[in-house]
Amino acid sequence: MATPRTETARRAHIVGWGMAVPERVLSNGDLCAMVDTSDEWIRQRTGIVERHIAGEGETTLSLALRASQAALEVANLDPALLDLVVVATITPDYAFPATACLLQDALGAERAAAFDLSAGCSGFVYALSVAAGMIAAGDYKHCLVVGAETLSRITDWTDRNTCVLFGDGAGAVILEANGAQGGILSSVLGSDGSGKELLIQPAGGSAQPASAETVQARKHTVQMDGRQVFRFATRIMPDVSRRVLSKAGLTVEDVSLVIPHQANDRILQAAARNLGIDEGRVYSNLSRYGNTSSASIPIALCEAIEHGLVKRDAVLLLTGFGAGLTWAATLLRWSLPLPVPTPSRRMTFWRNLRYRWAQLRSHWRRFWRNVDARLFQILYDEEGRRKR
Ligand code: UT7
């Protein structure tokens, strides 16, 4: 159910944030035992030192859930007040239903619409822009926007060209509509499907349905032309960044911090050089997480906030690129005073109760659906006519 429209100007402001990564850490040293690589090569060519890998039972949903609960805690918001849940991911729990629906159910976000968004590593910025647009249109008041991935599940662990790059994790933000100055200022999104084969999971869709052959040929794993993606990234990041700045009437000098998609430190350095911004204003945490695709920007945002790099009125530039090909940038002015007050224990208790209730409600609904189906069989014939 959508929140009724109000007459006040509505801007989308980030009022909550959270991140989650699996406990298990895979170091460059560990990878050396798996493929023909070296710690030195990985560090020098990518900047990555370690990454987090999902353990048994951990999925994109479980990481998204932890990140979302942390974001709701910061926002001090009852999940039942969420109007929309968007999960940007290329590694959903299932091809369908959407992971966002599973998240909506697990959170007890009873009145929220929910959908997944697939735009590769640009996914989170795409999702942020879509949700901000729905807020600006007056449709929604509170939106949960998540970037979550378990790339380890679609990684070819025998391919040194790709397996050293990726990691698992999730980041989430709560967007709130209010009339305050700042918030999301502008967004630019783009795509070029002619580059589809540069970064692709070839099988599992309608083009190549899953079969013994596709599994044997490892076609359900990430295939990438690293050099071409590298070239594309170094050009598109500065370009889309300039365009989003110009759309908002700002310049590079106005930017307090760039939070880019974390793919390769050399890409970040080249993009900073081309954009004419010093590297000190470009956030990087690649060394600890590797490339977590759509989760990388929200994770970096959370860390930048926690490290005190985001101040009130700071202008943040979020920019990404990825499979599709896609690219995206969003510019926002931080409007929330930091640090945020710790929520009262009563509210935290209430939220935890809500999560428990959500679990029970979900079980009950499934149980009742089965009973209902059984009753229907007893009471109605195959044509849906009441039996006498
Ligand atoms: O989120 C978006 C998705 N992906 C990206 O953004 C990735 C963009 N691309 C990149 O980050 C870089 O292209 C890579 C890190 C993937 C590769 O770095 P590079 O400097 O472009 O290396 P390269 O592909 O040109 O390969 C150079 C050499 C090759 O050997 P030869 O042919 O010169 O003998 C590779 O076989 O490095 C070799 N190589 C490795 N050596 C040790 C490739 N991977 C490895 C490895 N360890 N893991």
Spatial CA neighbour of 282 closest among 265, 299, 294: 265
- Domain-embedded: residue 54: yes
Alpha helices of the chain — where are they, by DSSP H? 28-32, 39-46, 60-75, 99-107, 123-136, 160-163, 212-216, 226-248, 265-275, 286-289, 296-306, 345-379
Amino acid at 26: L
The Cα 102–Cα 227 span in angstroms is 37
Pocket of ligand 1 contains residue 199 by CB under 6 Å: yes
- Domain-embedded: residue 203: no
- Domain-embedded: residue 1: no
pLDDT computed for residue 8 by the predictor: 53
pLDDT computed for residue 1 by the predictor: 46
- Domain-embedded: residue 351: no
Burial of 23 (0-12, 13-18, 19+ CB in 10 A): exposed
Question: Could you tell me the distance, in angstroms and rounded to a whole number, from the CA of residue 44 to the centre of ligand 1?
Answer: 11
Residues with active-site annotation:
121, 261, 291
| Residue 263 CA, closest ligand 1 atom number | 6
Q: Using only C-alpha atoms, what is the Rg of the chain? A: 22
Q: What is the CATH number of the domain that holds 73?
A: 3.40.47.10
Our count of domains for the chain comes to 1
Per-residue pLDDT for the chain (388 aa), expressed as one digit of tens each?
A: 444 444 456 899 999 999 999 999 999 999 999 999 999 999 999 999 999 999 999 999 999 999 999 999 999 999 999 999 999 999 999 999 999 999 999 999 999 999 999 999 999 999 999 999 999 999 899 999 999 999 999 999 999 999 999 999 999 999 999 888 899 999 999 999 999 999 999 999 999 999 999 999 999 999 999 999 999 999 999 999 999 999 999 999 999 999 999 999 999 999 999 999 999 999 999 999 999 999 999 999 999 999 999 999 999 999 999 999 999 999 999 998 888 889 899 999 999 999 999 999 999 999 999 999 989 989 998 888 988 7
Question: Could you tell me the distance, in angstroms and rounded to a whole number, from the CA of residue 20 to the centre of ligand 1?
Answer: 28
Neighbours of 376 (CB within 10 A): 10
Q: Which range of residues forms the domain containing residue 265? A: 11-196+225-333
Reduced to 3 states, what is the DSSP secondary structure of residue 266? helix
- Domain-embedded: residue 207: no
- Domain-embedded: residue 388: no
Bond from prior residue into 343 cis (ω within 30 degrees of 0): no
Q: Whose CA is nearest to atom 43 of ligand 1?
A: 161
Instruction: List the helix and strand counts (H, then E) for the chain.
Output: 12, 13
The Cα 285–Cα 299 span in angstroms is 9
- Domain-embedded: residue 251: yes
| Residue 293 CA, closest ligand 1 atom number | 1
Question: Could you tell me the distance, in angstroms and rounded to a whole number, from the CA of residue 221 to the centre of ligand 1?
Answer: 17
- Domain-embedded: residue 155: yes
How many Cα atoms are found within 13 Å in the side-chain-facing hemisphere of 385?
3
- Structural contact between residues 330 and 187, judged by C-beta atoms closer than 8 angstroms: yes
187 forms bridges with which residues in the sheet? 330
| Residue 164 CA, closest ligand 1 atom number | 48
Question: Could you tell me the distance, in angstroms and rounded to a whole number, from the CA of residue 192 to the centre of ligand 1?
Answer: 23
